[in-house]
């Protein structure tokens, strides 16, 4: 396994543990909403970086 695969597996395991905890506390819907917000923010940042790279390479 490469370093990125280990990091990705650790992140997935952490998110699953958080989901299990949220489920037990009855807050799974709030967990999913927060996860969607974080994913959207990551997408916005990734899009901005991709746009900057595309503009810089021209």
Per-residue pLDDT of the chain (58 residues; tens, 9 = 90+): 799 999 999 999 999 999 999 999 999 999 999 999 999 999 999 999 999 999 998 7
Q: What is the DSSP string of the chain?
A: --HHHHHHHHHHHHHHHHHHHHHHTT-HHHHHHHHHHHHHHHHHHHHHHHHHHHHHT-
For the chain, how long is the longest CA-to-CA vector?
A: 52
Q: What is the pTM of this model?
A: 0.77
Tell me the domain boundaries of the chain: 3-56
């Amino acid at each position: 396994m490469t370093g990125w695969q280990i990091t990705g597996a650790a992140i997935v395991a952490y998110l699953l543990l958080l989901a299990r905890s949220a489920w037990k506390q009855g807050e799974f819907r709030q967990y999913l909403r927060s996860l969607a917000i974080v994913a959207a923010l990551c997408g916005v940042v990734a899009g901005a970086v991709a746009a900057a790279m595309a503009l810089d390479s021209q």
